[in-house]
Amino acid sequence: MNELKESGFDAAKTVENGNKYLLGNGYLGYRGTLDEFGASECVGLNIAGKYDGVKGKWRETVNAFNPFYMAAYAGGIALDAREKNVAFHEVALDIFSGLFKRKTVFDVNGTSVTLKCERFVNMASKSNLCSRVIITADKDIRLNIKAGVDTDIWELNGPHFKDVKTKISGDTITASGTTQELGYRISVECKYSQRIENFSGGFGYINADIKKGEKFVLDRVAFVLFGEENADGESYDDKLKSHLKEWERLWSISRVYFKDDKRAQFALDYSIYHLLILAPKGEYSIAARGLSGQTYKGAVFWDTEIFMLPFFLNTLPDCAKNLIKYRINTLPEAKKKAQSYGYGGAFYAWESQDGYDACSDFNVTDVFTHRPVRTYFKDKQIHISADVAYAILKYYEHTGDDELMLAGGLETVLECAEFARTYSYYNHVKDRYELLDVIGPDEYHERVNNNAYTNYIFYNITKRGVELYEKFKKAYPESAVKKLKEWVEKLYLPKPDKNGVIEQFDGYFKLEDVEVEEVRSRLKHPNEYWGGSGGVATATRVIKQADVIMLFNLYPGLFSKEVQKANYEFYLPYTEHGSSLSHCAYALTACRIGKTDGAYKAFMDSAEIDLKGGGKQWAGEIYIGGTHPAASGGAWMTAVYGFGCNKEKK
Amino acid sequence: MNELKESGFDAAKTVENGNKYLLGNGYLGYRGTLDEFGASECVGLNIAGKYDGVKGKWRETVNAFNPFYMAAYAGGIALDAREKNVAFHEVALDIFSGLFKRKTVFDVNGTSVTLKCERFVNMASKSNLCSRVIITADKDIRLNIKAGVDTDIWELNGPHFKDVKTKISGDTITASGTTQELGYRISVECKYSQRIENFSGGFGYINADIKKGEKFVLDRVAFVLFGEENADGESYDDKLKSHLKEWERLWSISRVYFKDDKRAQFALDYSIYHLLILAPKGEYSIAARGLSGQTYKGAVFWDTEIFMLPFFLNTLPDCAKNLIKYRINTLPEAKKKAQSYGYGGAFYAWESQDGYDACSDFNVTDVFTHRPVRTYFKDKQIHISADVAYAILKYYEHTGDDELMLAGGLETVLECAEFARTYSYYNHVKDRYELLDVIGPDEYHERVNNNAYTNYIFYNITKRGVELYEKFKKAYPESAVKKLKEWVEKLYLPKPDKNGVIEQFDGYFKLEDVEVEEVRSRLKHPNEYWGGSGGVATATRVIKQADVIMLFNLYPGLFSKEVQKANYEFYLPYTEHGSSLSHCAYALTACRIGKTDGAYKAFMDSAEIDLKGGGKQWAGEIYIGGTHPAASGGAWMTAVYGFGCNKEKK
């Protein structure tokens, strides 16, 4: 199966399909919406890593102006999928060629009019995207088309553009605007293959009479210009050719095969598609919702390092290097963040926008009071620094890239360790260092002590960092390394209890012993937040996502299979999977302990999340919808590291 | 002015007046309700320190059966203050004699009938309370009276009694019941001066024809029997005589005089009244809402040690000793609590019921979701142990009672210090011990680090405890004292900043800088809780009550007047006074820094709180009404330690 395909139009699926049929080239993302759609249907042309903040609102990536707006009329009747005269409607995404296709047949007072569209975000380019519209009819008919660059765009926390200007020059329409905060001038240029008349406000008109059986073709070749690249004179077909060639190359490197399981094969192919459309084209990184929009502020989370990096390490190491360099480049901001809290070393942004921590102190809005809730993700989710260090070490393990290690890699690892050292307190009664007042991956339990995931990963990255220092003897003061060495030997690591279970954090076992469904039944509002002080999960053992289990995936050899099994069985019933990172974490561990049924189910939950339009859409009153590239990465890891590397059977 | 008096009946004031006109003798409290009232009007005969817990509900003190119920009818018409035929109604409390008085005149179809009642809880006894009812009329009339021991009682978390039995024997009605949890058999006996007929279910009937101008008198002499004391044959007048004598003695010891300020004089007299009716008659302590009911579970808080003890130390040292012995006696429970959290030493109950910590993990109910909110008062309000130690040291300073110090007093102080030592963490970067994850007096900010009040008081009690150990060389292992000595030298004490202000806890200065009225304006429900993660105050500088300021009152010599003034001026605008402990804390500091106007106002706010029926009635959905003896104690401290001892003028 090459294509994701869907017949019939359902207005309720507009937002979901925008994500599901997303196009992208690692720099630009174009949502799977229809030509006749606008801001209210969440049309989005998202740009990676270009941020803007409007006063009093969250800073986020900007959506560029939409070059592909078109409202077509045949015989005076709108060719609009939402209208009643639709005889047939279908959208499709060819994941092997990165092509979005749309076909709608209209009954225009007895004339059958067919509107076809093909669209791609050019994988061989950074700033190019193209659209081809073909209209045919079974009788002669008059076409009137309004088309142009739509500057009325979907924004969560906008408006991001001021001084918006539109112009036409020959067959090219340009809209440009300046971002509010940093004053970037962004232009969207779109070259038309048909003559535009009566241009005004970004839009013009194309009028044509088509004969029965004749094709009306409108090609549009667009560029999002930021100073990086210039529009060129290539045609739609030229662009398509280079685009398809690049896709062929990417798949030849990255495809993974299932034997005799078409559903799993397509789910994995679809996951890989979503990773490939995010492969960065420079030293920037990948947002948690990829290029599907502004959700989560377009910020970079630990998702990239822990869930997506392995795919790139194994397929596109240059992209992996970009991801790593993004973190090395933002080391100064991480050091500043640590300083601002009174610590040493590097405390990476929980929600990184070029190193700036976009995480709000109030990340959730209470659904009952509509009031922001103080959350501690930014202040206390310190494992982000360990995750960054882990990723660098993983990159080094794969590549042996001494050069990068000396050019900031090792320094970053050791600064992350140093942060943990200065964050830690010494328990003088028990003679050990502890990491207090943190949040682990399970965000439903804020401000806990000695989160196992956090302590173990800091322990391991510090040990390895210090070892590598012995090799390089460079990139860090020796006296600081000495302190780290002494510290790490006394860092507390929570051990498995007599049943083999590692307590997620101090006191977790004392929490109310109820499972997910019981806690879910206590909800009084479908979108209410499960964590925080008043959340349904807070005082219970119910966790948002894999936490101890995730640790096993980072260090599969650290604990025996028995311990991994005991924890898997213990924690699974308490896990809500409220994060898309959760299923694949269980899937990977399930593979190692021979729970193949559980692994397969969790793999499919992870790989199909965007196919099913799943995942949580709301955290309190905050919209968090979009694609889930970490789940895609997790599906890939499960296939390769899990199914591919574990031969044990239950 | 001897009497608190109020004319006219207002049903809306029933609960408030129950508190305002409260009687008590340090063991029993009888609310200022009317003879014809029952459970729904919150009639209450509260017993100090007798607890009962019903499954799934909060454990609390029990209310005994009401011996003084009476429904009188004249000429077939109810003599009930709530009826329309009331011509005059008045209640009064004579605070110098501990007498509650009530007079109601009814128009019974043209006959004027007067019902008078006098009631007291015998201060000269432990278990006795008496009532006298006098009915007169201006024409001959028939009286029918239903009276008896009402077993349908007001309970917040009941029912506490099972196997309830009532009987009559001669002129004595008895109701008895067994408490659910510990199986105490509690009997309420009431001897009638009039013959009872047709007894059933605790009630009987008295019928009489009274002539114009004649008095119908019903005396009732009641006992709450618990095995401590037996009913005797004394009459109402006998009991009244000993009661008045004891009140005379108490006032001769404890009265404090204002010069030329009748309002302040009465407010202070009234405050002292409320302390005297709580003076314990044995080795038990005083509940936060005194004997006014079951609010706050009848549990003992730091209120007693820090706000009430000074009055008793200066007037009734034997009562002070009872309060201290209560804490020494409950040291084993405090050690158990510390152990249960993994610490050494003694962690006193935040809400002590004979040492058992009645504090719930969910002390507040959210008004929007009606769901319990996880609060950390029990786990994190560690200053309670310092408060207990402080009280013992204060007692010793006043009495020089070496014997009590050797009989558990010093051991308790050192165990409290040892608890803090084991609770603390060593900050290896800054070379100091810190008290992390605590709640100070200001409960709106939970789980903070290095609360100034907490750190300073632990520092001081430890220093003094170690000094006294040097004197006695007994009551504690020398090696443990050595550890305490080393520890306390490195305990972190937050110092005044360049403006002289001591930060209430780490990071307090970084909170949103808004004052009380702004925060109040953000409320969306009048009873919503200001603290917890979603509260309006949580992320702001607004505090529930004096915190740093309270520290100055415990150790007036610790900081210069300039520092005290700087903090007073800084914190006052942020202080909501959501606790009745707050005004007097500011009043005391105001006296020392010469802010006499502020001191006087805060004194009056504190002294008149129960006169005005003030204080918060609700914390979320939990009823917290009742009397405020800590405010009474605070008013006394302000008068004596403040107005009495500070001559400086502004």
Write the CB contacts of A537 (distance below 8 Å, at least 6 apart in sequence). Answer: A444, A445, A519, A530, A531, A543, A544, A576
A625 pLDDT tier (thresholds 50, 70, 90): confident
Tokens describing residue A353: 């926008």
B227 pLDDT tier (thresholds 50, 70, 90): low
The span from the CA of B22 to the CA of B95, in Å, is 10
Nearest to B422 among A429, A433, A436 (CB): A429
- Residue A110, helix vs strand vs coil: coil
The span from the CA of A281 to the CA of A274, in Å, is 15
Nearest to A426 among B426, B437, B536 (CB): B426
Q: Which amino acid is at B348?
A: Y
What is the average per-residue pLDDT within B3-28? 95
The span from the CA of B254 to the CA of B426, in Å, is 47
Q: Which amino acid is at A400?
A: G
The span from the CA of A535 to the CA of A540, in Å, is 10
The per-residue pLDDT of chain A, averaged, comes to 95
Nearest to A369 among B434, B447, B534 (CB): B534
Q: Is the pLDDT of residue A650 over 50?
A: no
What is the average per-residue pLDDT within A129-133? 98
What is the average per-residue pLDDT within B368-384? 92
Please report the pLDDT score of residue B228 as a whole number.
Answer: 59
Listed as own residue / partner, the contacts of A640-647 with beta carbons closer than 8 Å and 24 or more positions apart are A640/A256, A640/A310, A640/A314, A641/A310, A641/A553, A641/A588, A641/A591, A642/A587, A642/A588, A642/A590, A642/A591, A642/A592, A642/A599, A642/A603, A643/A591, A643/A599, A643/A603, A644/A256, A645/A591, A646/A591, A646/A592, A646/A594
What is the average per-residue pLDDT within A591-600? 93
Q: What is the DSSP letter of B301?
A: -
Please report the pLDDT score of residue B266 as a whole number.
Answer: 97
Contact of A59 with A51, CB cutoff 8 Å: yes
The span from the CA of B594 to the CA of B597, in Å, is 9
Which chain B residue has the Cα nearest residue A434?
B425
Residues of A in contact with B538 (CB under 8 A): 374
Please report the pLDDT score of residue A2 as a whole number.
Answer: 83
Contact of B606 with B634, CB cutoff 8 Å: yes
Nearest to B533 among A374, A426, A429 (CB): A374
Provide residues of A within 8 Å CB-CB of chain B: 344, 361-362, 366, 368-369, 371, 373-375, 422, 424-429, 433-434, 436-437, 446-447, 449, 522, 524, 528, 532-534, 536, 538-539
Instruction: Give this prediction's pTM.
Output: 0.90
A607 pLDDT tier (thresholds 50, 70, 90): very high
The per-residue pLDDT of chain B, averaged, comes to 95
Domains of chain B: 3-230 (2.70.98.40), 301-643 (1.50.10.10)
Please report the pLDDT score of residue A474 as a whole number.
Answer: 87
Distances (CA, A) of A534 to A566, A618, B30: 30, 17, 38
Strands (E), A314-470: 352-353, 356-357, 364-365, 372-373, 425-427, 432-434
Contact of B34 with B11, CB cutoff 8 Å: no
Q: Which amino acid is at A616?
A: K
Tokens describing residue B471: 């004197």
Q: Which of A311-315, A473-477, B205-209 has the lowest mean pLDDT?
A: A473-477
The span from the CA of B526 to the CA of B623, in Å, is 13
Q: Is the pLDDT of residue B644 over 50?
A: yes
| Cα angle, residue B507 at apex, residues B504 and B511 outer, rounded to 5° | 95
CA distance A292 to chain B (A): 31
Q: Name B225's bridge partners.
A: B187
B100 pLDDT tier (thresholds 50, 70, 90): very high
Q: What is the DSSP letter of B641?
A: I
What is the average per-residue pLDDT within B280-296? 96
Residues of A in contact with B447 (CB under 8 A): 437, 447
Tokens describing residue B83: 């009826």
Distances (CA, A) of B559 to A475, B305, B366, B564, B593: 48, 22, 40, 7, 11
Q: Is the pLDDT of residue A321 over 80?
A: yes
Write the CB contacts of A38 (distance below 8 Å, at least 6 apart in sequence). Answer: A66, A69, A150, A152
Distances (CA, A) of A463 to A418, A457, A484, A491: 12, 10, 9, 11
CB-based burial label for A477 (10 Å; 0-12, 13-18, 19+): exposed
A291 CB neighbour count, 10 Å cutoff:
30
- Residue A240, helix vs strand vs coil: helix
Write the CB contacts of A178 (distance below 8 Å, at least 6 apart in sequence). Answer: A161, A162, A163, A184, A185, A186
What crossing angle do the helices spanning A383-399 and A317-329 adopt, rounded to 10°? 140
Write the CB contacts of B564 (distance below 8 Å, at least 6 apart in sequence). Answer: B552, B589, B592, B593
DSSP string, B511-543: SB---HHHHHHT-SSTT--S-TTT-TTTTBS-B
Residues of B with a catalytic annotation lie at 443
A228 pLDDT tier (thresholds 50, 70, 90): low
CB contact under 8 A, B534 and A366: yes
The span from the CA of A369 to the CA of A353, in Å, is 30
Please report the pLDDT score of residue A373 as a whole number.
Answer: 85
Of B457, B438, B459, nearest to B449 by C-alpha is: B438
Please report the pLDDT score of residue B650 as a whole number.
Answer: 37
Interface test with A, best of B435, B533, B540, B542 (most A CBs within 10 A): B533
Tokens describing residue A322: 């970009």
Contact of A85 with A70, CB cutoff 8 Å: no
What is the average per-residue pLDDT within B491-516? 97
Q: Is the pLDDT of residue B649 over 50?
A: no
Residues of A in contact with B373 (CB under 8 A): 533-534
Tokens describing residue B66: 């009401």
B561: phi then psi, degrees, rounded to nearest 5: -60, -35
Q: Is the pLDDT of residue B338 over 50?
A: yes
What is the average per-residue pLDDT within A62-87? 97
The residue that leads in pLDDT, B360 or A100, is A100
What is the average per-residue pLDDT within B212-239? 89
What is the average per-residue pLDDT within A279-296? 96
The span from the CA of A2 to the CA of A14, in Å, is 22
DSSP string, A46-77: EEEEEEE--TTS--EEEEEPEEEEEEEEETTE
Tokens describing residue B427: 């900050």
Q: Is the pLDDT of residue B485 over 70?
A: yes
Q: Please report the ipTM that was assigned to this predicted complex.
A: 0.87
Name the one residue in this structure whose structure tokens are 């311990």: A563
Name the one residue in this structure whose structure tokens are 């906008």: A158
Please report the pLDDT score of residue A649 as a whole number.
Answer: 43
Q: Which helix (H) or strand (E) covers residue A134, if one does?
A: strand A128-137
B624 pLDDT tier (thresholds 50, 70, 90): confident
Please report the pLDDT score of residue A363 as a whole number.
Answer: 83
CA distance A464 to chain B (A): 23
A565 pLDDT tier (thresholds 50, 70, 90): very high
Nearest to B532 among A362, A433, A534 (CB): A534
Q: Is the pLDDT of residue B226 over 80?
A: yes
CA distance B226 to chain A (A): 38
Catalytic residue among A443, A446, A528, A608: A443
Tokens describing residue A575: 């896990």
CB-based burial label for A332 (10 Å; 0-12, 13-18, 19+): exposed
B332: left (phi over 0), alpha (psi -120 to 50) or beta: alpha
The span from the CA of A639 to the CA of A591, in Å, is 10
Nearest to B429 among A422, A449, A534 (CB): A422
The span from the CA of B153 to the CA of B164, in Å, is 12
Listed as own residue / partner, the contacts of A301-305 with beta carbons closer than 8 Å and 24 or more positions apart are A301/A350, A301/A351, A301/A352, A301/A384, A301/A630, A302/A383, A302/A384, A302/A387, A302/A388, A303/A581, A303/A629, A303/A630, A303/A633, A304/A391, A304/A630, A305/A387, A305/A388, A305/A390, A305/A391
CB contact under 8 A, B425 and A422: no
CA distance B558 to chain A (A): 28
Q: How many CB pairs under 8 A join A and B?
A: 81
B142 CB neighbour count, 10 Å cutoff:
13
What is the average per-residue pLDDT within A449-466? 98
Name the one residue in this structure whose structure tokens are 């009402």: B150
Write the CB contacts of A8 (distance below 8 Å, at least 6 apart in sequence). Answer: A89, A90
What is the average per-residue pLDDT within A357-374? 88
What is the average per-residue pLDDT within A34-54? 96
Which chain B residue has the Cα nearest residue A435?
B425
Residues of A in contact with B374 (CB under 8 A): 533-534, 538-539
CB contact under 8 A, A426 and B422: no
Please report the pLDDT score of residue B647 as a whole number.
Answer: 58
Q: Is the pLDDT of residue A318 over 60?
A: yes
